[in-house]
Amino acid sequence: MPKEQATTGRLPRPAAPGDPSPTGEGSVNAKSGPPYRPTLEWHTTDPDHWDKLKPEVQRMRGAPTDAEAVLWNALRRGGVGIHFRRQHVIDRFVVDFCSLAAKVVVEVDGAIHNNQEQRETNA
């Protein structure tokens, strides 16, 4: 039984935006604190990974492959009834398309996947 429930008979209220982290949870320094836990649904990586991958994500969004461009035109603006993001970072990977709400990731095959080093990275 949670400590607060034992003393008050009620469960604690959910945290509101701006509330401080409970003692022992969260960290401003991911290297010394507990693992990074995203607080917003679109935060799917830690700030260090994002800082390293952001330039590559921007480059990839600006120069899609032909197959990615065709698929994005079909998926964008909820064209298939589900909201998709393109070139989204999840952990240390950049996925071509994903729907966070539907928990779907779409990777478009192309010449980059023929590269042995890239195949090992994707595995």
Secondary structure (DSSP) of 45-61: S-HHHHHHHHHHHHHHH
Q: What pTM, to 2 d.p., does this model score? A: 0.56
CA neighbor of 97 nearest in space, from 118, 123, 68, 119: 68
* Chain segment 31-59, per-residue pLDDT in tens: 555 554 545 466 788 888 888 999 999 99
* Burial (0-12, 13-18, 19+ Cβ within 10 Å), 88: buried
Domain ranges (residues) in the chain: 3-122
Q: Which two tokens stand for residue 80?
A: 């298939």
Q: Are 66 and 111 in contact (CB under 8 A)?
A: no
* Chain segment 69-121, per-residue pLDDT in tens: 999 999 988 888 989 999 999 888 899 999 988 889 999 986 665 666 766 66
